[in-house]
Structure 1
């Protein structure tokens, strides 16, 4: 995570000035202090995106997300603002990209086909399936399959921020955010989602688990992971894509089970 100067949260008066008194100068001070968060999130999201995606555009979307986070954050709950704001910033950037239709329909269709293949085959075999099995199911060569993974790597940036149901705005990750006053049904669904995700992670190959761990928990970039694992950045990108598609397939099964209840 990025290094910051002393957080305004150490001086609750700044948050009180904004939240209780509505002082715009206090809000501006918070925005300026947390701007490095935008740069940090933008830097991570740029990995794997097409070269025509502008950093300035991402930063603009991210700043809007930061402002939204500052407006909605409840400092009295004692939660860490950086974590909350990072997801708001990321969500705003992804919303902006989605509105710009930055991923061709053909690429999205390929991603969906592979995701469905992982979901059906792993449900059938009850284990992690191989590239050869996926290639056979898709009726393509393994070389073509690897090329497809490279093409769709740009879509896996958004995977967990996509809606659980197409007609709704609730995302997979939103179900895992700590919010108070959740009803028992929500807690049950949250438990089964986390359990399904944990089982799905266990089914990943060792290299895929390593990439997921280093990228999402250690917060290394794909190029840094490539150096750590002594693999090429393109190979790391493929491993990341396969891991995300496997996880999406597992969450898809969880969604289907939920809808049948």
Structure 2
């Protein structure tokens, strides 16, 4: 895409790849608390796209969309990290749920039911569901797991470990990632059936909450609860790895 003067038309390129920014933003927003604005993510993502257009070279050996996706996601994650989108209270609630699930699994030798988790937490089932709804945005990686990347290797951020710049690859990191992926696949296989469906549709098939709700015949809010609960179960299991 060139202008009449023969130079690259940057505006046309931004318009062409803007849907990629919107897609990534919509996928991320479903995992984030209501306090995070979609428009803010899109705005930051467009900045990431602009940087990708300026830095991309075909000689890198990767497709532009792959390169741009990393830049866009990286820009969004940096913004979330700077904003500290998940409050300490929310992180404590999430860890309390994980702890309850872990204790119950050790005691029962099976995945605990929602009513059992609620009882372990000293809540009614309705209160537990309300808590899960507030936990929208819980992920396998906490904000502190992302790290700041400023304190040496010990504080290296998740993005630095798993989305290296310009395609660099450290064999030790790749091996660690493969082990984590294998542990994650095993943990997902032990989730209750409905939660397995939610995780599969959300992460493997890139379906949004509305689409998953239609398939399962439940509300979007219920899908969000199931997602939050599934993530808590997975984090409780992955503590061992």
Normalised by the length of structure 1, the TM-score is 0.72
Identify the match of residue 65 of structure 1 among 44, 48, 62: 48
> Cα deviations across residues 9-42 of structure 1 (Å, max 9, x unaligned)?
xxxxx9xxxxxxxxx9476664443221111122
More relative contact order, 1 or 2 (CA 8 Å, 6+ apart): 2
Root-mean-square deviation (CA, aligned residues, Å) is 3.4
> Cα deviations across residues 149-172 of structure 1 (Å, max 9, x unaligned)?
01111x32x544745475331259
In the superposition, relative to structure 1, how do residues 57 and 191 fare at CA in structure 2: closer, same or farther (>3 Å)?
closer
Identify the match of residue 157 of structure 2 among 164, 169, 175: 169
Q: In the aligned structure 2, how far is the partner of 1:129 from the partner of 1:84?
A: 41
Structure 2: give runs of 5+ residues left out of the alignment: 148-154
Aligned residue for 2:152? none
Aligned residue for 2:238? 251
Aligned residue for 2:115? 132
Superposition misfits of 4+ residues, deviation over 6 angstroms:
175-178
Q: Conserved in 1, the CA contact under 8 Å of 2:35 and 2:85? A: no
> Cα deviations across residues 164-198 of structure 1 (Å, max 9, x unaligned)?
47533125982799955433x33432232111111
Q: Conserved in 1, the CA contact under 8 Å of 2:81 and 2:146? A: no
Q: Spell out the pairing of 1:35-184 with structure 2 (5 A cutoff).
A: 35-47=18-30, 49=32, 53-70=36-53, 73=56, 75-122=58-105, 125-153=108-136, 155-156=137-138, 158-160=139-141, 162=143, 164=145, 166=147, 167-171=155-159, 174=162, 179=167, 181-183=169-171
Q: Conserved in 2, the CA contact under 8 Å of 1:163 and 1:171? A: no
Structure 1: give runs of 5+ residues left out of the alignment: 1-7, 9-13, 15-23, 255-261
Q: In the aligned structure 1, how far is the partner of 2:50 from the partner of 2:215?
A: 36
In the superposition, relative to structure 1, how do residues 173 and 180 fare at CA in structure 2: closer, same or farther (>3 Å)?
closer
Aligned pairs, number: 231
In the superposition, relative to structure 1, how do residues 180 and 42 fare at CA in structure 2: closer, same or farther (>3 Å)?
closer
